Structure 1
Amino acid sequence: MLGNGAESYQINKKLDETRTLLYKAYDDLLKQDQVITAHLIKNWYLGTDQQHHTLLYLSSYYDEKMSGVLKYGTMKNYRTTENYLKEYLKKQHRTSDIYLKQIDYQFTLGFESYLRSLSRLQNNGVMKHMERFKKLMRLAEHLNWIEKNPTVRFKLRFEQVDMVYLSKPELEKVKSAVFEKDVLNINRDIFVFACYTGLPYADARALSTNHLQIGKDGKKWIYTRRSKTNTAVRIPLLEEAERILDSFKDHPKIDGTEKLLPVYSNQKTNQYLKEIAKKAKIRKELKFHAARHTFATTVILANRMPIETVSKLLGHTKLSTTQIYARVIDSKIANDFDNLRLKLNGLK
């Protein structure tokens, strides 16, 4: 617009700003390898080309893309987190859904507070749900559905939980216990088998004749993959574990199948283990995963096996995960040094 008046100045300034934005639209579209048209640039400038996705759409997108990749249990946990998000939206925001661009750091803190208000959730349970929420928002960021991830600054604060495992005397008490109910003897033997192989519940239940192979030493090994991480695991079969496998060869629960162990459901197994611990007078909350901890601590680390070997046997992808067990064994070192001090004092 010609002239030096205030109106000309304002209009020309607006034109310059618009021209700058249009060039920016052109550059951005070039970087995205788009076919440039005037219509496309106009839509970018007006903002009509942008799709505003919602939180629940993001959750359903994740469910669709990952259901064939992640394990059933993992997907079940994500759906539980989604249900908590729905409850939070309904109770705190009085809505059934929310646009991703509306989610900010305050929303993130509010979701944490809501989870903490639920009596059934402890700190680590809250942190697990927050961890999944952070992963969802990170996915939205990678898909360019949001410009800025509002959960980046939120720090996960897990509390260290005491690891439940059996000491050598406790393991012997479980092994030598005799139960009137046959079902308790069966579950005790399967638990002891896991104590000498380190197999978690899902892998023990899936164990079949295909997993038994002869190793380079000419002895039986378990060749399998961890169901949780798909990591290859090679475990030499100790005599105690082999004896238990032999005792189940003709068990009616697995007769005519390739299965090696008559494993009950996870819920039933843990119920029986609770009863086993009570009858064996072990004051610990015994669950199947305690067998894996017992294998790592009492059976192998306490017998001075190198931690790198232990990591391989457990199928850990990071050595730092295995080092958690090494810290538990520090108590044994302390006891050994107490005994050493007594011996040294006796010599004096």
Structure 2
Amino acid sequence: MSNRTISFKNIIIKSKANAAGEAPIYVRVNIDGKLSDIATKRQILPERWNSETGAVKGNKEDARSINTKLDEIKAQLWAHYHKLEREEQDITSALLKRRFTNLDKPDHTLTELINIHNKMMNERVGIEFAPGTAKRYSTLAFHVKNFLKLTYKIEDIKLKMLNYQFILDFEHYFKVKRECNHNSTLKYIRNLRKVINLGIRKGWIEKDPFIKFSAKVQEVKREYLTKDDLSLIEGKDISIPRLELVKDIFLFSCYTGLAYIDVYNLTKANLIKGNDDELWIHTQRQKTEAKSHIPLLPIPAQIISKYKNHPECIHSDKLLPIKSNQKMNAYLKELADLCGINKNISFHTARHTFATTVTLTNNVPIESVSAMLGHKSIRTTQHYAKIVDMKVGNDMKALKNILSTGLNG
């Protein structure tokens, strides 16, 4: 920098004066004798301009405002100059002008932004994010690439091209091309929104393409087992070993409320004797990383005892010998058929059953249920309370009909 001639001078150009006679103010950049003029978007009458100081004369409010703005522009120009120095650029007055006016701003792309986002997330797996969370964003990258090919016949898109229509097209892709339901579609869109927010924070996206987009999650029916359904499964003698195992693991989840991945992750170290001298499960939910402390009821305690000498539990230190989620769900459908339960159950049905039939229906306070489920917000647990209230309402309607029939008879 010491070997270069650099100056920033404020000037007015009288020949470009407007109808009111006000001349536009420019900052003249001089680097090694090469000049570039940068418009300040400010005007002043020539008689109020001091060409020697490069400032508006006097102390009027508009003079102070314009002079402050001119000082800010000079400070910004120096900041851009030093940044170009750090980038080891061949700095000219024209390049500095382009940098100041954003004309040389790189055209960042959506794929580039997703890759940066996912790289940061993958590096924080186990520290800040669960592996499943990182996998969801890898899936997002796949779908964005596929969406761009199918919808726009392109490999990538510049971030400055993203707009409200792009978001609508992305929504359409999932609902029509991928045949996703409304809530699944919103999960993908929300993940994209998080990536876009990163681009906004980095200054790569000037206008949020989501600004007009609004969609709410649709409340869905949460399948759960009734007390009678549980009794059918508990009392069913199973002669097929794989189904017997699935039955036991499923019941374990029905009486602990743990999701599949959290049961899968359980080791003997998660079994703790509490202050009440009773056995508890102390774990951390993989999905939310929330702590979950669950008193062990008799049925899950019996199941743990049953499998404590299972080869898989001995060799891997697992608490239970659980199969893959895919196999568990497939075998659960067989189990439901054997028990005569006409419901589309999955492993997650067990968690819903714990929240409703096992706890809330038996007057366990909702705060305790929320803590055992590892919910970060009690509002999540309140969905289950609504289900219980609906069941009570339906039961009472049935009772009213019975009483009404009896009275009329």
Inter-partner Cα distance in structure 2 for 1:77 and 1:310:
28
Residue 71 of structure 1, CA deviation: 2.4
Q: Taking structure 1 as reference, are residues 300 and 20 closer, same or farther at Cα in structure 2, changes over 3 Å only? A: same
Matches for 1:288-327 after TM superposition, within 5 Å: 288-327=347-386
The question of 1:156 aligning with 2:215 is answered yes
Secondary structure of 1:145's aligned partner: coil
Inter-partner Cα distance in structure 2 for 1:8 and 1:80:
56
Inter-partner Cα distance in structure 2 for 1:32 and 1:176:
79
The question of 1:145 aligning with 2:204 is answered yes
Residue 13 of structure 1, CA deviation: 4.3
The question of 1:63 aligning with 2:63 is answered no
Bigger mean CA deviation after superposition, 141-150 or 192-201:
141-150
Asked whether the equivalents of residues 282 and 291 of structure 2 are also in contact (C-alpha less than 8 Å), the reply is yes
Inter-partner Cα distance in structure 2 for 1:97 and 1:48:
21
Residue 272 (structure 2) aligns with:
213
Residue 259 (structure 1) aligns with:
318
Q: Taking structure 1 as reference, are residues 32 and 196 closer, same or farther at Cα in structure 2, changes over 3 Å only? A: farther
Q: Taking structure 1 as reference, are residues 315 and 20 closer, same or farther at Cα in structure 2, changes over 3 Å only? A: same
Residue 90 of structure 1, CA deviation: 1.8
Residue 264 of structure 1, CA deviation: 0.3
Matches for 1:204-243 after TM superposition, within 5 Å: 204-243=263-302
Inter-partner Cα distance in structure 1 for 2:394 and 2:249:
30
Inter-partner Cα distance in structure 2 for 1:73 and 1:151:
25
Inter-partner Cα distance in structure 1 for 2:105 and 2:308:
63
Deviations 1:21-55 (A, max 9, x none): 69869737968994765968534334255232100
Inter-partner Cα distance in structure 1 for 2:339 and 2:70:
73
State the number of aligned residues: 346
Residue 115 (structure 1) aligns with:
174
Q: Which has the higher strand share?
A: 2
Q: Which has the higher helix share?
A: 1
What TM-score does the superposition give when structure 2 sets the normalisation length? 0.76
Inter-partner Cα distance in structure 1 for 2:77 and 2:232:
67
Match of 1:188 among 225, 240, 247: 247
Amino acid at match of 1:9: A
Inter-partner Cα distance in structure 1 for 2:192 and 2:72:
33
What is the RMSD computed on CA atoms of the aligned residues? 3.2
Residue 9 (structure 1) aligns with:
17
Residue 72 (structure 2) aligns with:
27
Secondary structure of 1:20's aligned partner: strand
Bigger mean CA deviation after superposition, 18-27 or 202-211:
18-27
Bigger mean CA deviation after superposition, 256-265 or 306-315:
256-265
Asked whether the equivalents of residues 271 and 279 of structure 2 are also in contact (C-alpha less than 8 Å), the reply is yes
Q: Taking structure 1 as reference, are residues 173 and 33 closer, same or farther at Cα in structure 2, changes over 3 Å only? A: farther
Residue 337 (structure 2) aligns with:
278
Asked whether the equivalents of residues 312 and 318 of structure 2 are also in contact (C-alpha less than 8 Å), the reply is no
Secondary structure of 1:255's aligned partner: helix
Match of 1:50 among 91, 100, 105: 105
Inter-partner Cα distance in structure 1 for 2:214 and 2:12:
57
Residue 123 of structure 1, CA deviation: 1.9
Q: Taking structure 1 as reference, are residues 254 and 41 closer, same or farther at Cα in structure 2, changes over 3 Å only? A: same
Secondary structure of 2:367's aligned partner: helix
Residue 107 of structure 1, CA deviation: 1.4
Residue 165 of structure 1, CA deviation: 0.7
Asked whether the equivalents of residues 77 and 96 of structure 2 are also in contact (C-alpha less than 8 Å), the reply is no
Inter-partner Cα distance in structure 1 for 2:196 and 2:114:
10
Inter-partner Cα distance in structure 1 for 2:285 and 2:77:
40
Amino acid at match of 2:142: N
Residue 171 of structure 1, CA deviation: 0.6
Asked whether the equivalents of residues 213 and 223 of structure 1 are also in contact (C-alpha less than 8 Å), the reply is yes
Amino acid at match of 1:109: L
Secondary structure of 2:304's aligned partner: helix
Residue 115 of structure 1, CA deviation: 2.3
Match of 1:106 among 159, 165, 174: 165
Bigger mean CA deviation after superposition, 71-80 or 224-233:
71-80
Inter-partner Cα distance in structure 2 for 1:19 and 1:253:
74
Q: Taking structure 1 as reference, are residues 130 and 35 closer, same or farther at Cα in structure 2, changes over 3 Å only? A: closer
Secondary structure of 1:224's aligned partner: strand
Residue 72 (structure 1) aligns with:
131
Structure 1 gaps of 5+ residues are: none
Residue 194 of structure 1, CA deviation: 0.5
The question of 1:177 aligning with 2:197 is answered no
What TM-score does the superposition give when structure 1 sets the normalisation length? 0.89
Asked whether the equivalents of residues 108 and 151 of structure 1 are also in contact (C-alpha less than 8 Å), the reply is yes
Which structure: larger Rg? Answer: 2
Deviations 1:210-264 (A, max 9, x none): 1111111110011111111111111000011101110111112322332110000
Inter-partner Cα distance in structure 1 for 2:367 and 2:75:
50
Residue 90 (structure 1) aligns with:
149
Asked whether the equivalents of residues 183 and 217 of structure 2 are also in contact (C-alpha less than 8 Å), the reply is yes
Q: Taking structure 1 as reference, are residues 19 and 284 closer, same or farther at Cα in structure 2, changes over 3 Å only? A: same
